[in-house]
Structure 1
Amino acid sequence: MNVWAIRMKVLYVLFLALLLSGCGDLCSVDLLSESKSPDGKYIATVFERNCGATTPFVRVVSLRHAGSGFAPEEDDDWVFTIHGQSDINVSWVENTELIISYSATGDTPTQRTRWKKLNIKY
C-alpha cells in the first residue's frame, strides 16, 4: 500500500472520530434544588435543561430512589415539566405524597399524578 493511501485512511478515521464526538447530548443541565422524602427513601430534584437558542428552557421535577444518583436524561422519572424559567417548589406532605407548586408562566407538557408508589399533587 502506498503512502498516499495510508494517509487517506488515517485522515478518514480522524474525520470520522471528530464527527462522532460531536453527536452527544448538547443540552446543559443546572440543578436547582433537591428535597428528600420524610423517610429518606425518595428524592425530588428540580433542574433546568437548556438545549440551545432554538428551543425553550425547560424546568423539570424528577423523582428517584435515594440510593441512586441524579440522572437528568432518565425522562421516565420526570413527573413535571414546564417551558420557561418558572419558579418551582416541591414539598413532601408525607412519605408517599409530594406537592409541586409553580408560577404558571409556560406550557406544562408533563404533569403526572403518580410515580411508582408516590402520589403527586399540584
Structure 2
Amino acid sequence: MRWTLAILITAALIAGCAPICENEVSAAARSPSGKMKAVLFNRDCGATVGLNTQVSVLSAEAVLPNDGGNVLIVDDDVPLALQWESDGSLKITGTLPSRIYKQEHVVAGVRITYGNYKRSEKTL
C-alpha cells in the first residue's frame, strides 16, 4: 500500500512539471530541395508571458519541438512571410514589433536575411 501511494504521489509531481507552453504552427515553407523547412509559429506560455511569434529552421522530416524558435522570436502575434531564396538562404519579411528577443543570421547552415520589413510604432 505504501509503494502504491508513493508511486501515485511521484506520478502527480511529474505531471505537474509538464510544459505549460504550446506551439501553434501558422505556416511552413520547404527549401527548394525539400531537405529543410522553415516553420512560423506562435508560442503561448500562459498568462505570465504574452503570445509571441517565432521561426525555426529544421530538417524537412523533423517535428517542431515544444521549444522556442531557433531563428527569430518577436513579441505579439506578427504576420511574417517565409521565402527560400535557395537551399542555403531564407528571407523573412513582415512588420517586426519593437521587441525582438532573438534574431539569428545563420542557423543550421542556412543564411537568414530580413528584408522589406519595418518596425511597428507600437510601444509597450
After TM superposition, is the score higher than 0.5?
yes
Matched, 1:71 2:61: no
Unaligned ranges ≥5, structure 2 = 115-124
Alignment partners' CA distance in 2, 1:61 and 1:33: 10
| Pair 1:60 & 2:51 matched | no
Percentage of identical aligned residues = 25
Aligned residues of 1:84 and 1:106 also touching (Cα < 8 A): no
Q: String of CA shifts for 1:86-122, please: whole Å, max 9, x gaps.
A: 1111101122111011222241111111113211100
RMSD over aligned CA atoms reads 1.8
Task: Select which of 76, 84, 87 maps to 1:92.
Answer: 84
Any residues of structure 2 matched to 1:14-33 within 5 Å, and which? 14-33=8-27
1:118 & 1:14 partners in 2: Cα distance?
47
Residue 49 of structure 1 is matched in structure 2 by 43
Aligned equivalents of 1:37, 1:9: Cα separation in 2: 53
Q: Find the aligned partners of 2:65 and 2:57 in 1 and give their Cα distance.
A: 10
Bigger Rg over Cα: 1
Give runs of aligned pairs for residues 110-121 of structure 1, distance below 5 A: 110-121=102-113
Post-superposition Cα deviations, 1:36-95, rounded to whole Å, max 9, x if no partner, equal 1111121000111101011011211101112x32233355x6111111111111101122
User: Number of matched residues?
Assistant: 114
Amino acid at match of 2:105: T
Supply the distance in 2 between the matched residues of 1:90 and 1:106 (Cα, whole angstroms): 20
Taking the aligned partners of 2:41 and 2:73, their CA distance within structure 1 comes to 10
TM-score, scaled relative to structure 2:
0.81
Higher helix content, 1 or 2? 1
Alpha carbons of 1:116 and 1:12: their partners in 2 closer, same or farther (altered >3 Å)?
Answer: closer
Normalising by structure 1, report the TM-score. Answer: 0.82
